[in-house]
Amino acid sequence: MAPKNITGVSEFLLLGFSEEQELQPLIFGLFLSMYLINVFGNLLIILAVSDSHLQTPMYFFLSNLSFVDICFTSTTVPKMLWNIQTQSQVITYEACITQMFFFTLFAGLDDFLLTVMAYDRFVAICHPLHYTVIMNSQICGILVLVSWAISVLHSLLQTLMVWRLCFCGELEIPHYFCELNQMVQLACSDNFLNDVVIYLAAGLLAGAPLSGILYSYSKIVSSICGISSAQGKLKGFSTCVSHLSVVFLFYCTSLGVYLSSSATQRSHSSEIASVMYTVVTPMLNPFIYSLRNKDIKRVLQAFFRKAAINRPFVFS
């Protein structure tokens, strides 16, 4: 008997990290704290970059990255917090497909924006005299629009590939969100084509940007090593440390999840790696980019100083 296609009326169960009730308040508090830090931290970055003194390509890309990081985390964490609060693991098929679409979209955007930022640093360090000509506002806008277009098309392709699958039996996702690989493995129809598309997309849309980042930084290191003064070398490397830290965190965890073998059993190590690049890395980005950046710190200090002065006094 052929498996019955119950998509459209089915519900999935998000098993989360642990089914032990005594751990749920701890998990809820931890993820709520990380989510709020992520949202407010990245909003502060966007607010700082809106200052007229920070209207440069580097800060333009950084503000886009901060916006994407807020959206990226918001696709998964609020639903998980809601499930913990209501003591329910249910997510409808439509909601699961929607979550998977936006998760894949913003993950791809993170990938491409990190690549664009690496290219920006490459032009700034290796071709400083032509930087303003090469990285003009039109080119920056086109780079961001192309990143959005490719990410939307890739996410739409993966969503349509999952939409064609048949689901039956126990629909338990051993994760805290509707992760693409886990959903494909739950299908009771042939998922060979889905696996091929997933691994081809991972190779092209993750491997190619990573190769671009590595190439950019190989040229950057070569240019910095050619600087005669030690102070110049230190200044060159310091402009890249923040971006390299984010790239390292994002790629080491995300590639570890999506290029691992597609096993059907529950894997806590995969869940922890997913938390690293879906929650922890977006949360750390504002700290990584602001703590070492004097311009952003100066703008934020001026903003809070002005807010403190303009705050109305309340007399008893």
Q: Where are the domains of the chain?
A: 11-297
pLDDT at residue 67 tops 50: yes
For residue range 229-278, list pLDDT tens digits in order. 777 777 777 778 888 888 888 887 776 665 554 444 455 666 777 888 88
Tokens of 83: 């499930």
Q: Which residue has the higher pLDDT, 88 or 2?
A: 88
Note the pLDDT of residue 6: 47
Examine the pLDDT at 216 and tell me if it is beyond 50: yes
What is the CA 170 to chain-centroid distance, rounded? 30
Most confidently predicted of 150-159, 218-227, 246-255? 150-159
Q: Which pLDDT does position 267 carry in this prediction?
A: 54
73-97 pLDDT, tens digit each = 999 999 999 999 998 889 998 999 9
Mean pLDDT of 44-51: 88
How far is it, in rounded angstroms, from Cα 223 to Cα 54? Answer: 25
Q: 65, 250 in Cβ contact below 8 A?
A: no
Please say if the pLDDT value at position 55 is more than 60.
Answer: yes
**Section 55-74 average pLDDT:** 93
When pLDDT is cut at 50, 70 and 90, the band that residue 5 belongs to is very low
pLDDT in tens, 172-210: 888 889 988 888 888 888 888 999 998 899 888 888 998
Residue 129 has pLDDT above 70, yes or no: yes
Of 37-51, 92-106, 179-193, the least confident = 179-193
Predicted local distance difference test score (pLDDT) of residue 115: 94
What pLDDT does 4 receive? 45
Q: Tell me the C-alpha to C-alpha distance, in Å, between residue 15 and each of 170, 269, 281, 299.
A: 12, 15, 23, 43
* pLDDT (average), residues 20-41: 91
Average pLDDT over residues 106-120: 94
Q: Regarding the domain delimited by 11-297, which CATH topology (the fold level of the hierarchy) does it fall under?
A: Rhopdopsin 7-helix transmembrane proteins (1.20.1070)
| Average pLDDT score over the chain | 84
What's the pTM? 0.88
